[in-house]
Amino acid sequence: MNRHIKIHNFTVFISIFMCLTSICACSQTPVIEYVPKNKVETEIIKVLIQYQEAKNSFDIHGYLECLHEQGRFEFDANLRKDITKNELKERLPRFWARLKENNRDHAPMLWESMNGNYFQYGWFAKPQIKINTHSAEVKVVFTNGWWSYNHTIVLLRQNHKWLISHLGWEPF
């Protein structure tokens, strides 16, 4: 009898744990639903949404339009170095073509080396924005529903426009 109670209690515990985990995962505010606190946050969120939509639709022009000319961007985990906007312009079309074909031969072997660039789509959630006079750092969670990565996006203000100057990824 005692054993059945312990098994039942464990089952109840696991059920509650799974429900709470699901609620927490779903409670992350998507960037498109984020309510900006001020005008500057509104401008930054617009850039993030454009970047997210361009990435998801493989729109090279829209993607590059979000990036600062002197920026450095974490792109291919196999390279282990940041690359320039011009290098991205050269590499992205070929990289995205393989991604659309579900060709994973370019993906890292280890999950820890992966980043959000290796997924055909995803969305940003839970934005945390720190604004300085001419720069901002945004931390978001990038997720595709199965996998999540922490994504750090640094922006610079140039000629009254926010542009992404650095993209960084970390496993969630």
CATH number of the domain within which 125 lies = 3.10.450.50
Structure tokens at 31: 């960037």
Which residue range forms the structural domain that includes residue 89? 30-171
Would you say residue 155 lies in a domain? yes
Neighbours of 55 (CB within 10 A): 23
Contact (Cβ atoms closer than 8 angstroms) between residue 151 and residue 167: yes
The first and second tokens of residue 107, run together, are 């993906």
> Does a structural domain hold residue 60?
yes
> Residue 20's pLDDT is what?
42
What local confidence, expressed as pLDDT, does residue 77 receive? 62
**For each of the chain's 172 residues, which pLDDT tens digit applies?**
566 565 555 555 555 544 444 444 445 789 989 999 999 999 999 999 999 999 999 999 999 999 999 999 887 666 667 889 999 999 889 888 888 887 666 665 444 445 667 677 899 999 999 999 999 999 999 998 888 889 899 999 999 999 999 988 876 5
15 domain-assigned: no
Asked, for residue 7, whether it belongs to a domain, the answer is no
Number of domains composing the chain:
1
Q: Does a structural domain hold residue 95?
A: yes
The reply to whether 146 falls in a domain is yes
Question: What pLDDT is attached to residue 24?
Answer: 44
pLDDT value, residue 119: 78
Task: Give the per-residue pLDDT at 146.
Answer: 81
In a domain, 12, yes or no: no
pLDDT at residue 144, as a whole number: 84
Residue-level pLDDT at 107: 60
State both tokens at 95: 């990289």
Q: Rounded to whole angstroms, how far apart are CA atoms 146 and 141?
A: 12
Domain membership flag for residue 154: yes
Task: Kindly provide the b/e burial profile for residues 131-155, where b requires at least 16 CB atoms within 10 angstroms of the residue's own CB.
Answer: beeeebebbbbbbeeeebbbbebbb
The secondary structure of residue 34, as a DSSP letter, is -
